[in-house]
Structure 1
Amino acid sequence: MIYKYYYKTPDGFSDMLMTSDGEYLTGLWFDGSRGASKHISDCEEKLLPVFEDTIKWLDIYFSGKSPDFIPKYRIANLTDFRREVIDRMLEIPFGETRTYGEIAKVIAKKRGTAKMSSRAVGRAVGWNPICIIIPCHRVVGANSSLTGYGGGISNKVALLRHENNDMSKFTVPKK
């Protein structure tokens, strides 16, 4: 059985949908974002302990602090490469960003290869099913462009602003 629960975010953000297999958090998306709608059919809405932990984490985060724990999560179809990218995202501190290229360089060095594709990193970042907690919003383009956020650019901007980033250094792509 798959379970869902909704989280009411503070003003300036879309509300969030979380999913669970009953024990682990399996998804966290901004409502209406890419990927969210395909995960809510045939789900039972129920407040589970893992959702309570996730709500506590989100409450701390949205109060302007960096939570000191991560709710239990499980990600399906997790390849070694995706795990490496997630591990790098989890290392990005609250209020900081990294580029796709910077993450690619770290992974290439760890693997002992000359280089790694930043586009491959971008695909893995975009695939992330647990936003904010696994901070894909902190990954930006090489020219500080705020591209590639499945939760919507407005939410990415709001999250980076919420973390007190200097927004003057970022560019938002024109539609």
Structure 2
Amino acid sequence: MIYTCSLDTPLGAMRAAQKDNTLVGLWFIGQKYFPRQTANWIYAPDQPIFIALRNYLADYFAGNPGTFAGRLNPQGSPFQKTVWDILLQIPLGQVATYGQIARWVACKQGLPSMSAQAVGGAVGHNPIGILIPCHRVVGFDGNLTGYAGGLDKKKALLQIEKVNLEKWHKAKWLGKPWEKKD
């Protein structure tokens, strides 16, 4: 059973979905790759995970992002999940390029290389916007490229996180997400 609710944000209305007490989706209404099969979803805005999500988003948009008090469970292929796991490790206020992520995925999987375009496809199909921060991925030269919710929203999210795109090369994240630090 999938439960859903609508959320109002400063960047527009969003729809959230949960299954088995985990968040499986968060989309801007009408964005690219918005789910098509929603007729059987049950509107239940008072689910605990939706209350936690509303609280998180209120703090986030007020410039006080904390930690989401719920479990994420994005549905996708193993490759997509690998990319989304890397996105989760890009720190607030920093960015990474599609090429960097492609190199990280290749290294993690023991491959000599990985297509940045394949990574871009996985990033674009991220089903849990904002919380899985696909908006923190930029082009190789720091340009804003692709965002299922629209480039205006991507820019606004980066501004909320105080990312200075004019100096992105100093802010970009060069960590290696597959190396766990204790």
- The TM-score by the shorter chain falls in which range? 0.7 to 0.9
Quote the Cα distance in structure 2 between the aligned partners of 1:74 and 1:117.
Answer: 25
Superposition misfits of 4+ residues, deviation over 3 angstroms: 167-170
CA contact (8 A) 1:14 1:155 kept: no
Partner of 2:176: none
| Percent sequence identity over aligned pairs | 40
2:127 counterpart of 1:129: yes
Shift of 1:59: 1.7
Give the aligned CA root-mean-square deviation in angstroms.
Answer: 1.8
- Structure 2 counterparts to residues 64-143 of structure 1, below 5 A: 64-69=63-68, 71-76=70-75, 78-143=76-141
Shift of 1:70: 5.1
Shift of 1:101: 0.3
Shift of 1:64: 1.0
**1:44 counterpart (42, 45, 55):** 42
Partner of 2:58: 59
The gaps in structure 1 that reach 5 residues or longer are 171-175
The gaps in structure 2 that reach 5 residues or longer are 169-182
Matched letter for residue 7 of structure 2: Y
Shift of 1:94: 0.9
CA contact (8 A) 1:4 1:43 kept: yes
SS of residue matched to 1:102: helix
- C-alpha distance after superposition, 1:114-170 (max 9, x if no partner): 211111110110111000000000011112221111011111111011111114358
- Structure 2 counterparts to residues 131-170 of structure 1, below 5 A: 131-168=129-166
SS of residue matched to 1:15: strand
Matched letter for residue 85 of structure 2: D
SS of residue matched to 1:28: strand
SS of residue matched to 1:25: strand
Greater share of strand: 2
Return the TM-score normalized by structure 1. 0.87
Matched letter for residue 6 of structure 1: S
Quote the Cα distance in structure 2 between the aligned partners of 1:111 and 1:36.
Answer: 29
Quote the Cα distance in structure 1 between the aligned partners of 2:144 and 2:87.
Answer: 16
CA contact (8 A) 1:4 1:40 kept: no
Partner of 2:2: 2
